A and B are shown apart, each in its own frame.
Chain A
Amino acid sequence: AQSVAQPEDQVNVAEGNPLTVKCTYSVSGNPYLFWYVQYPNRGLQFLLKYITGDNLVKGSYGFEAEFNKSQTSFHLKKPSALVSDSALYFCAVRDMGDSSYKLIFGSGTRLLVRP
């Protein structure tokens, strides 16, 4: 069975500092991996995805994520956090062998960037 773990309910960082939001996954086959962000009372916005190829994936708003197959991790990173990055972040996985587009989401990590 597929699963995603986001071990931190909340991450606190100061503006200008680097940030990392952790994600580990479990799938039976090869994964497609995604990060989404959700602002209050809004839907989810797509940030980036890993399909294949380079382990470092760049996405929207200066975010990037590093895929590590041996550790089954896909951590979200940003070199310099902004107060406006404060939001709820979700990691998601889809098994490449799954013909449907069902995504399994982690429980979410609330990022709080203080001025």
Chain B
Amino acid sequence: KAGVTQTPRYLIKTRGQQVTLSCSPISGHRSVSWYQQTPGQGLQFLFEYFSETQRNKGNFPGRFSGRQFSNSRSEMNVSTLELGDSALYLCASSLARRGVTNTGELFFGEGSRLTVL
């Protein structure tokens, strides 16, 4: 079974640009979450999507947005990039089976490393 796939793995942008990151969850997984990892702030929750709906959102400015498609694939977008947005962006998926108590362990992709110059 293929794992969580994130593209691109590495990218370099300049301040003011915008970026779109893509995530394909494990087949059958319906929940997709995004996290930002930086040396100073650690792992911070961005948002979670389930059945194309944002179910929870972290404390990030509106420049950070995301969406989920009907096939559970997800994208996140960061507009007007700032130097502080340089980070490893991690996508994670979870099974989220209907009618079952879901413990919610996350399965992570390898991440997209964004460098803002």
Contact = CB atoms under 8 A, between A and B. Distances in A.
B108 A100 contact: no
A38 to B, nearest CB: 9
A40 B105 CA distance: 21
Given A46-B108, A105-B35, 6 more contacts: A32-B103, A32-B104, A42-B110, A102-B48, A103-B45, A106-B42
Contact of A103 (B106, B110, B113): B106
Contacts of B109: 43
Contacts of A105: 35, 42-43
B105 A34 contact: yes
Given A105-B42, A105-B43, A99 B103 contact: no
Nearest to B94: A101
Interface in A30-86: 32, 34, 36, 41-46, 49, 51
Given A100-B56, A102-B48, A105-B43, A43 B105 contact: no
Interface of A: 32, 34, 36, 41-46, 49, 51, 90, 94, 98-108
B48 to A, nearest CB: 5
Contact of A46 (B90, B96, B106, B113): B106
B31 A101 contact: yes
Given A34-B105, A100-B56, A101-B33, A43 B111 contact: yes
B42 A43 contact: no
Contacts of B105: 34, 46, 49
A101 B110 contact: no
In order of increasing CB-CB distance, the 4 nearest A-B pairs are A100-B56, A43-B108, A101-B104, A105-B43
B107 interface: yes
Contacts of B33: 101-103
Nearest to A49: B105
A102 B108 contact: no
